[in-house]
Amino acid sequence: MLLLLLLVVVTLILLHPPTHPPHLQAPPLATCWSLLQMVRTQRQVLPFPSQVVYNRVGKCGSRTVVLLLRILSEKHGFNLVTSDIHNRTRLTKNEQMELIKNISTAEQPYLFTRHVHFLNFSWFGGDQPVYINIIRDPVSRFLSNYFFRRFGDWRGEQNHMIRTPSMRQEERYLDINECILENYPECSNPRLFYIIPYFCGQHPRCREPGEWALERAKLNVNENFLLVGILEELEDVLLLLERFLPHYFKGVLSIYKDPEHRKLGNMTVTVKKTVPSPEAVQILYQRMRFEYEFYHYVKEQFHLLKRKLGLKSRTSRPPLRPQFFFPTPLETEEPIDDEEQDDEKWLEDIYKR
């Protein structure tokens, strides 16, 4: 009888091998689309993904999110993987293969973050990770970058001189209206076509302003991104990240609202920031029409998701639209980050305090 019982136990083990505990087990990830459908329709927590990529868009609050992730990685025990390369968003095929290999071999569970355009892991034989990202109003993003490159933020009066030491004085003090109205390269396409390539991917056409890149970016948002939030509603973004990815983001909103964290965030407010004339803004709006179509698409999807989950909007203030721009000094409440370049040492110094 005992022998028969032992035989039954062994058979069950062979047929149903033991699995890892739920908090260490990665689900088979078909596509983020199917996972999102499950979350949206059944209001369930996403099964624990052991591979998350945050290919952060420049000037969209990623410095704040990375600071939060440093705290959360210590708290929850996941591997936060950052990169020393901050100014290479477009990669050759070999560079894509090398980066995907390096990311895929990182200790799991991991969250990888870097300024880089969307990478399709499956094209190179890898497992597609869960993607997340945040964008903001395109004109607001552009203005943050324009003035930050020239004048820095409250962390140090001279930090802009360190970041852009080769910038000539006439360029540093170039009036924003002149830059736009005279069609300087910095204030025209393709430089203004910035957000969409992060979602379109590495194809050369992704860098060309047009319908092809726009539609491909939308498709990738639907099929490969678990969540794309908007900076103007950052608290709601963090709330949804905590809801969908609790193993990574549990408690993030409490940390974000902590007075000490707020104090650190205020150090990254852009200084000497002014707003272009209504005429200049209208020109920007036309030049960035594809960026705005994408932004509004993402915003609508984000609001739809919030409604399906019964989340009431906590919007702090709406993004500025062209008709609301006035040539007066403007302060940016949102924390910002240097376009395609992060001062990681500053983050590390802050984290060690």
- Considering 86, 115, 247, 261, which one is annotated as catalytic? 115
CA 64 to chain centroid, in Å, comes to 11
247 as an active site residue: the answer is: no
- Distance (Å, whole) CA 109 – CA 98: 20
Q: Tokens representing 268?
A: 């990254």
- Residue 32 to residues 57, 103, 140, Cα–Cα distance (Å): 20, 18, 29
- Non-local (6+) Cβ contacts of 181 within 8 A are 279, 280, 283
- Residue 310 to residues 132, 234, 244, 306, Cα–Cα distance (Å): 21, 17, 14, 6
Nearest CA-CA partner of 340 in 58, 97, 78, 104: 58
Tell me the β-bridge partners of 79: 110
Helix (H) or strand (E) holding 300, with range, is: helix 289-308
- Distance (Å, whole) CA 47 – CA 25: 9
Active site residues: 115
